[in-house]
Amino acid sequence: DVKVTQSSRYLVKRTGEKVFLECVQDMDHENMFWYRQDPGLGLRLIYFSYDVKMKEKGDIPEGYSVSREKKERFSLILESASTNQTSMYLCASRAGGARYEQYFGPGTRLTVT
């Protein structure tokens, strides 16, 4: 079974802190994604990566950065957390090419106070 794991289920941080969210997948997938999910807004793509050290901005990259040093690991970084970044963060991975399903992790509920 494909497994996508995220480092924390719940996280509480203060405004201005640097926050790291880690995601690991065990299926050798080329593509990895970070989304945030907010009530009524669905899943919005923050960043994705289609290879090691490669990254592409999604729909809402402002205030975030990412790192992919190894194929199995994709990190989301909030350089200076703000209260409007309180959200559910979902990581996903997917095999390369077209028409493959995307597998999601369990999510990290981040609260910024």
Partner 1 sequence: GESVGLHLPTLSVQEGDNSIINCAYSNSASDYFIWYKQESGKGPQFIIDIRSNMDKRQGQRVTVLLNKTVKHLSLQIAATQPGDSAVYFCAEETNSNSGYALNFGKGTSLLVTP
Interacting residues with partner 1 (CB under 8 A): 4, 31, 39-43, 45, 48, 50, 56, 58, 90, 92, 94, 96-107
CB-based contact 7:105 (threshold 8 Å)? no
Spell out the SS3 assignment of 8-39.
Answer: CCEEEECCCCCEEEEEEECCCCCEEEEEEEEC
- Minimum gap (Å) between residue 51 Cβ and partner 1: 9
Give whichever of 17 and 65 is closer to partner 1, judged by the CB atom: 65
To partner 1, the closest distance from the beta carbon of 36 in angstroms equals 12
The least CB distance from residue 13 to partner 1, in Å, is 20
Is the CB of residue 56 less than 8 Å from the CB of residue 50? yes
